[in-house]
Amino acid sequence: MITLTQLEYIVAVDTYRHFGQAAESCFITQPTLSMQVKKLEEDLEIIIFDRSKHPLLPTDVGQRIIDQARIVLKQSEEINNIVKDHKNQVSGLIRIGIIPTMAPYILPAFIGNYKKKYPNIIIKVYEQTTDNIINLLHKDLIDVGILATPLREEKINEKPVFYEEMLIYTNPSHPLHKQAEITPKDIATPDLWLLSDGHCFRDQVINLCSYAGGSDSQLPFQFEAGSLETLMNIVDREGGITLIPELAKEGMSEKRLANVRAFTSIKPLREVSLVYSRHFAKHKLINLLWREMRDSFPVELQNGERGTAVDLR
């Protein structure tokens, strides 16, 4: 007879691809975990993990069983959530992944109020790139991501929260600083500073202006930053331009605000959403988080019709 504990063990082994680390995550000894996995394989008369591979890999049939095990474990968790809802209890653990270009501007606006309203919710936040967040969601190592969409990712639900405008940040000496009409083609120049690979805002900037870069760069040195604040500091000192999301203006000095420009031919928007697995069981926590985020930002940002959403991929 298959037990939920055995399913937890094979999911842990698949997540870490290592028996020792999986056992540690389950707070048991490695021999105990190995014995339970072996017993499950014997009862099912199949091999779940190919132990000859390094790192450890599931067999084809093993992967199908593991995928179903994740669904079963999610559904079993839903029983506890039904009981909590019946008792009007708001509690539990929620693990949130958020991308670096959103964390400094979005997280402080809502996370404190969310915790004050629901003190029995345990919140853990991880700052990761979009690809890492998707991977962590698939492995059930986080519950929800806050990132740019649409992802068009299989097995992932997207719940849009708001839409922020993509703006230009210029050095005062740059021609765009005084230019009356600005189109996406105007930023496809060799003096555009970009975030490093892996940041979805970089991909949206490239999609917006179809910029491919090149050896004729007019920048003083080659550099791809990991944060928008770093890019703005470099623009201030070294010249050039970069793009920033609308919420980055919050708390800006008047001197910096004077360097922010908007496109006149189009209003490009970044769609910000909560994303989570389609088998996610903590629906109440997700809905409360979504509502708190919506209430924390201006109503006009919730209107996706005020501009044109820029594709992420």
The domains of the chain are located at 4-85, 90-162+270-307, 165-268
pLDDT band at 217 (very low <50, low <70, confident <90, very high): low
Fold adopted by 90-162+270-307: D-Maltodextrin-Binding Protein; domain 2 (3.40.190)
- As a whole number of angstroms, the distance between CA 275 and CA 273 comes to 6
Q: Do domains 4-85 and 90-162+270-307 have the same CATH topology?
A: no
Residue 214: pLDDT above 60? no
CATH top-level class of 165-268 = alpha beta
Fold adopted by 4-85: Arc Repressor Mutant, subunit A (1.10.10)
Q: List, for residues 21-53, the tens digit of each pLDDT value.
A: 999 989 999 999 999 999 999 999 999 999 888
Residue 215: pLDDT above 60? no
Taking the model in full, what pTM does it have? 0.75
What pLDDT, on a 0 to 100 scale, did the predictor assign at position 153? 84
Q: List, for residues 159-202, the tens digit of each pLDDT value.
A: 999 999 999 999 999 999 999 999 988 988 888 888 877 778 88
